[in-house]
Amino acid sequence: MKSYSRPDGRRADQIRPVRLEPGIAPAATGSVLVCMGHTQVICAVTVEESVPRWMKEQKVRGGWITAEYSMLPYAATQRNKRESTSGKVGGRTQEIQRLIGRSLRAIVDLDLLGSRTLWLDCDVLQADGGTRTASITGAYAALRLAVDRCLKEGRLEADPIREPLAAVSVGVVEGHPLLDLCYIEDVAAEVDMNIVMTASGKMVEIQGTAESQPFSVPAMNRMLTLAKKGIRELLQVQQKA
């Protein structure tokens, strides 16, 4: 197999430079700007002192966490049309915001939230691959900040977050397993996977697709090993932020 040189010179097991800037949206209860390479996403949490109607009608206890995701028109080299102008949310957007919402619900005790909803808004400022995984990583950091604020203000009696989590992409390009794909690698990938994992090593979600040839179980395990390494590093960045 011929050698492969990554466009940005990284090793196969190396994530892009990561930065988390807290407090980017002062009006939100918690917010961060997450930068992974050239991908930049603002993640903000807003607390609403009510729950969705379906929870009231079904008498479901506790609170709820839901997410909205959007890519700003200027996030990529070619302008994206705002979905609000078409009057509906696209299929890709629905998939990503559902992924963000269920990923964060997986590590939160919803009963401890009380009768309130936490809105996770993830807005992509610049897209260079991995926007959904960056959104999840940033959304957790924003959620942690929001919960800490609610605890300090007495709005929550106990910490509902069970453990941290983060997400990263992995894939196979020209036969080589790679960690944290940038856009050039993403579009050329033979296999594309997104991994969401907790600090204790439990998997929340594994999204994997063979773009050309099917991949083997050993190949999947190699990618999972890369993902675990990357997520450990992302959790450390979250902790510092």
DSSP per position, 116-131: -EEEEEEEEEE-SS-H
Q: Is residue 235 within 8 Å of residue 199, measured between CB atoms?
A: yes
93-130 per-position pLDDT tens digit: 999 999 999 999 999 999 999 999 999 999 999 999 99
The fraction of the chain above a pLDDT of 70, given in percent, is: 98
Tokens of 9: 């010179």
Q: Whole-angstrom Cα distance, residue 32 to residue 168?
A: 17
Distance CA 196, CA 132 (A): 10
By three-state DSSP, how is residue 20 classified? strand
pTM of the model: 0.94
Query: What pLDDT digit, counting tens, does each position of 165-174 carry?
Result: 999 999 999 9
Model confidence over 68-82: pLDDT tens digits? 999 888 888 778 877
* Domain limits, the chain: 18-240
Give the gyration radius of the chain's Cα atoms: 18
User: Which CATH fold would you assign to the domain 18-240?
Assistant: Ribosomal Protein S5; domain 2 (3.30.230)
